Amino acid sequence: MKKFLALALALLMTLALPNFAMAAKNKNKGESGKVTAVTDKTITISNKKTGESATINVPENTPITTSDGSPAPKLSELVGKKVKISESSPGTASSIAVKAGKKGKKATT
C-alpha cells in the first residue's frame, strides 16, 4: 500500500508540476518605478534599474494605496512618486501602490 501511495504521489507531482511552472511564468507582475507623467486615463513610469519607461492605461476607479498608511493621493498627484502598478492585463492597471519614502527623507509632493 505504501508503494502505491508513493507511486500515486509521484505521478501526481509529475502531472501537476508543469502546470504550476506555467502559471508562474504567465503571471503578470506589473510595473514599478517613478511616475514621470499622468493623464486622466494613463500613467507613465520610468524604471531606473532597467532604463525603460512604460505607459499604462488606468481605468476609472482604479484603487490607489500607500505603503505607509497615509491618505491615498489622487492620480494627478503621483508625478515624482515611486509606485508599484499591478496589472489586470498587460498595459492595464488593476491597482497602484505608492511606495513610502526612506526614513529621514521628506516625501516629495
Q: What is the pLDDT of residue 52?
A: 87
Please say if the pLDDT value at position 104 is more than 50: no
> What's the Cα-to-Cα distance from 73 to each of 19, 45, 64, 69, rounded to whole Å?
39, 16, 7, 11
Please say if the pLDDT value at position 93 is more than 80: yes
Which run of H or of E encompasses 46?
strand 42-46
The single residue listed with the C-alpha cell 498608511 is: 69
Q: What is the pLDDT of residues 47-83, one digit of tens each?
A: 888 888 999 999 999 999 998 888 888 999 999 999 9
Q: What is the pLDDT of residue 86?
A: 92
Domain extent listing, the chain:
31-98
Which of the four CATH numbers 2.60.40, 2.40.160, 2.40.50, 3.80.10 does domain 31-98 have?
Answer: 2.40.50
Q: Collapsing DSSP states into helix, strand and coil, what is residue 35?
A: strand
Nearest residue to 85 via CA among 30, 36, 38: 30
